[in-house]
Amino acid sequence: MLYRFTRSMSSNSFSSHTARLALYTFTFESQSFVSSFMSYVEDCAIGCRHNAFTERLSKLIHGVPDTHPQHRSVDNDYDDGASEDLSDIFSALAYHMKTMDDILEACLLKARHRTVAGVVVEECLQVILDFGQLVSDVAEDQLAAEISEQRLYKLHRKFRGSLRRLVRSFFKQ
């Protein structure tokens, strides 16, 4: 969406060539980050865990014997770690709670991640929202070109710094 919005802006919205280049670069980087993060959350963090959960429940409903811990096959994509038999509603509830807990952890929403990666991801997304607001303000001619260029450079530096911190936080774990 940012790409379409920035493409429709008049060429004099950002007066210098370097500002327009920074605008298009930041637009590409922010769109790539959001797209990659959405894919990670949907496919890796939620998808594989939820699929393993629903597959195991489906096998239980249809009476497939591998729902019992001694007969279960191991899925190479995601090991849900469920070691208990799902013979009653309470064990199914415990298994569901563990699956949801695993999803939250993978989405960086657990308390231990809030100190590092989760905070940095939130910061990156906030910078992208601020960038969107800047683009909107520029498109509506609410900001002078010089002020908007300074804010653009500042937001772009902050975004790149946040990305560096995010990558470092993953290597420290």
pLDDT band at 4 (very low <50, low <70, confident <90, very high): low
Write down the domain spans for the chain: 38-107, 111-173
Q: CA 7 from chain center: how many Å?
A: 25
CA–CA gap between residue 137 and residue 118 (Å, rounded): 29
Is the pLDDT at 1 greater than 80, yes or no? no
pLDDT tens for residues 53-111? 888 888 877 776 654 444 444 444 555 555 556 777 888 888 889 888 888 887 776 66
pLDDT band at 154 (very low <50, low <70, confident <90, very high): very high
Six token digits for residue 163:
């990305």
CA–CA gap between residue 68 and residue 52 (Å, rounded): 14
CB 40 within 8 Å of CB 166: no
CA–CA gap between residue 134 and residue 163 (Å, rounded): 20
Six token digits for residue 112:
């231990």
Sign of the CA dihedral with 128 first, then 132, 138, and 142 last: negative
